[in-house]
Amino acid sequence: MKSYTPSQIRNVALIGHGGSGKTTLSEAFLFVSGAINRLGRVDDGNTTSDFDAEEMKRHMSINLSMVPVEWHDTKLNVIDTPGYADFIGEVRAALHVADGALMVLCAASGVEVGSEITWAMAAERSLPRLILVNRMDRENADFERTVEQARQILGSGCVPLQLPIGSASEFRGIVDLVRQRAYLGPQGEEGPIPAELESHVATQRERLVEAAAETDDDLLAKYLEGEGLSVEEVIVGLRRGIQAGKVFPVLVGSGGHCRGVDRLMDAIVDYVPAPTEMPACSARDIPSNKETVLTPDPKGPLAALVFKSTADQYIGKLTYFRVYSGTLNSDSHVWNAGRGREERLGTLHVMRGKNQEPVGSVGAGDIGAVAKLAETTTGDTLCQRERSLVVPAPQFPVPNFSAALYPRTKADLDKMSLALARLVEEDPTLHISREHDTGETLLAGVGESHLDIAVEKMKRKFGVELTVSPPKVPYKETITVGTKAEYKHKKQTGGHGQYGHVFLELEPLPRGSTFHFEEKVVGGAVPRNYIPAVEKGVHEALQEGVIAHYPVVDVRVVLYDGSYHPVDSSDLSFKLAGLMAFRKGMGQAQPALLEPVVKVTLVVPAHFQGDVMSDLNGRRARLLGTSSQGGTAYIEALAPLAEIQRYATVLRSITQGRGSFSLEFDHYDEVPAHLAQAIVAASKQQGES
Ligand SMILES: Nc1nc2c(ncn2[C@@H]2O[C@H](COP(=O)(O)OP(=O)(O)O)[C@@H](O)[C@H]2O)c(=O)[nH]1
Ligand SMILES: [Mg+2]
């Protein structure tokens, strides 16, 4: 691949709902630009972008992938992204390093949930956005309807830059409203605008010119005076509007049939800003801890941000980076500023799907990859040791759908933790934790399919087979009234006997106070040296309560009396006496089951608020507060963990994927009696099996 200056580069992410045709479009880019001579199909599992085994199997994108396209004198670093909600982390990463986004809409389905969500993510980063009304060849394709929807939902700045000629099976070509030319047939041959479209073209062009004029006072004055704007002026005006996030030009085409694809690539060149036109990237200078701005100067100080890492069983770890300033060279030493470590780089590559093309260097504004870095992971910055810089990292969604993992065999157990570590390194939206009370290894992800795919990956990539189940709820037990209990441990076998005798007082403590042990023994009824043994025994008893073997919390235990035997007493005897006395006492003290209660913080579109709250009601939740702002409702509630374990799936279905939430442990609370019985029964059954 040729080398390109920063002003010849366009970093553009394809975003949109799953199935809108992004991957097919990226394949069409390669085909039309002459990079490949055979057009792969998603359904045949042979596209450049969906190269991962899981993607090929499922016929959908799961990971972001790089599809660089050389178009005339420009390099388009197209980043194809998945559209399904579970893989939203990949979209985040792609948008973080893109200078513009191309929203792909299906002409038949219009604006869908995935379109809205990814659009909002691009808006959050104030990225310039173009829209493609794609799959225009499909039955029920409707350009006007889709544009109207886009104006309603995505913003009034959506304005057609092109018009389709015909639709569905009659879709023949496109009209470029700026240049007022038609492009027809598979080759996009230039021709006159069909007569029946002329008046429509005129009105739509007026709208476009107006949008262009509104971006600049001089242009607007000229426009209002009735002077026509030149093609150049319209382009300049539109560019300005697009960069300011006020104008979103709408194009049309069919990626599957390669229609309109050449004009679309022209539009990307014309309207997506080059790295040199983007607001300067701010970075932190480590020694001075001050913010500094980076310009995309290949001769500037090096700053390259890692936005994606993959683990491949053959090539090992692969690290994708975008250079914001300076030039990264093959076979060089760089500094990982955040970790304070040196990295040795081997050969740098330009990735196209899974294909690597070795390059000597990757300059400012461009994107590349390098294999086998030892110290660096997603979010890290590579720089020069003498100029330690950190570029802000992408923020990934916090995973809140968990499953417990069980290795199938001993061999799987041995390999499991290393493989999980690599899996998590590849995907920052996966988290591994160990739940202390239940002893389970938990894998948290964005949703159910996300975890399913992670588990399949563990098998395919790392040869580790896992069984997955919903996590056990870490219940606890406590007492609800005070009581006293006595226990005498006495055994007379031949030789040395055993003797330990204690009186304990048990008292409930407020939630969250765990356990207190005190002794108030008078007159040496229990000699000093045996008291630690009694405490140890009580401690042991706390590990498994009398209701269902869950740990016991929130009790105060006072050792207040007892007796001993000068020969037969020992630590062991007193420990056993403490343990048994506690168990006995707990049985008397109206023991209760406690469950974890979490704080749920929700952000949902206001019109779903009622449905969300009534569902929460059914989950024994307690509302803490609600507020709303600009069509968005914010809800805070407390809910038992047991009711909320699969909430990611639930909320998605209630809000059609538009709601989000986070969970945070809050406190333990008593399980209502009618539910406790079922939990005890289940735990007994588990103990027996
Ligand atoms: N008719 C038609 N089908 C298309 C077009 N583009 C993609 N498809 C089909 O739509 C489905 C989803 O396409 P894909 O590229 O995977 O969409 P993505 O999820 O946005 O990447 C596949 O079955 C494609 O063959 C198109 O322009 N026209
Ligand atoms: Mg795709």
Cα–Cα dist 364/347, whole Å:
17
What residue owns the CA closest to ligand 1's atom 2? 135
CA 66 – CA 69 distance, rounded (Å): 10
User: What is the rounded CA–CA span in Å between residue 69 and residue 31?
Assistant: 9
For 101, the enclosing helix (H) or strand (E) is strand 100-106
Q: If residue 30 lies in a helix (H) or strand (E), which one and from where to where? A: helix 22-32
Residue nearest to atom 1 of ligand 1 (CA): 138
Q: Which amino acid is it at 76?
A: L
Residue with tokens 């893989």, as numbered in its chain: 87
| Ligand 1 binding pocket includes 138 (Cβ within 6 Å) | yes
Q: Distance between the two ends of the chain, CA-based, in angstroms?
A: 62
* Cα(98) to centroid(ligand 2), Å: 17
**Cβ neighbour number for residue 97 with a 10 Å cutoff:** 23
Span 617-657, pLDDT tens digits: 999 999 999 999 989 999 999 999 999 999 999 999 999 88
CB 369 within 8 A of CB 351: yes
Q: What is the average pLDDT value for the chain, to the nearest integer?
A: 95
Residue located nearest, by CA, to atom 14 of ligand 1: 21
Taking the CA of residue 24 as reference, the ligand 1 atom at the shortest distance is 15
- Is any ligand 1 atom within 6 A of the Cβ of residue 201? no
Task: Report angle CA 540, 545, 550 to the nearest 5 degrees.
Answer: 100
pLDDT tens readout for residues 252-277: 999 999 999 999 999 999 999 999 99
- Please, what is the Cα angle at 305 between 303 and 307, to 5 degrees? 170
Q: Does ligand 1 lie within 6 Å of residue 63's CB atom? A: no
Strands (E) across 463-549 are located at 466-469, 476-478, 483-491, 498-508, 515-519
**Phi/psi of residue 349, each to 5°?**
-135, 155
Ligand nearest the Cα atom of residue 137: 1
Q: Which distant-in-sequence residues (6+ apart) come within 8 Å of 55 by Cβ? A: 45, 61, 62, 63
Ligand nearest to the CA of 171: 1
- Confidence band of 684 (pLDDT split at 50, 70, 90): confident
Give the helix/strand (H/E) hosting 23. helix 22-32
- At a CB cut-off of 8 Å and minimum separation 6, what does 619 contact? 639, 640, 643, 644
* C-alpha 463: how far from chain center: 25
For ligand 1, say whether the CB of 659 is within 6 Å of any of its atoms. Answer: no
pLDDT computed for residue 689 by the predictor: 61
AA letter at 678 = A
Residue 40 near residue 47, CB atoms below 8 Å: yes
List pLDDT tens digits, range 299-336. 999 999 999 999 877 778 999 999 999 999 999 999 99
Domains within the chain, CATH numbers bracketed: 6-193+246-277 (3.40.50.300), 281-390 (2.40.30.10), 401-469 (3.30.70.870), 477-589 (3.30.230.10), 594-684 (3.30.70.240)
Is 24 near ligand 1, meaning CB less than 6 Å away? yes
Identify the nearest ligand to the CA of 258 by its number. Answer: 1
Residue 16, helix vs strand vs coil:
coil
Q: Report which protein residue has its CA nearest ligand 1's atom 4.
A: 256
CA of 154 from ligand 1 middle (Å) equals 22
DSSP code for 78: E
21 lines ligand 1 (CB under 6 A): yes
pLDDT for 198: 95
pLDDT of 239-254, one tens digit each? 999 999 999 999 999 9
Q: Judge whether residue 463 has pLDDT over 80.
A: yes
Pick 228 or 136 by higher pLDDT. 136
pLDDT tens, residue by residue, 147-198 = 999 999 999 999 999 999 999 999 999 999 999 999 998 889 999 999 999 9
Pairing of strands 162-165, 515-519: unpaired
What is the pLDDT, as a whole number, of residue 492? 83
Global pTM value: 0.90
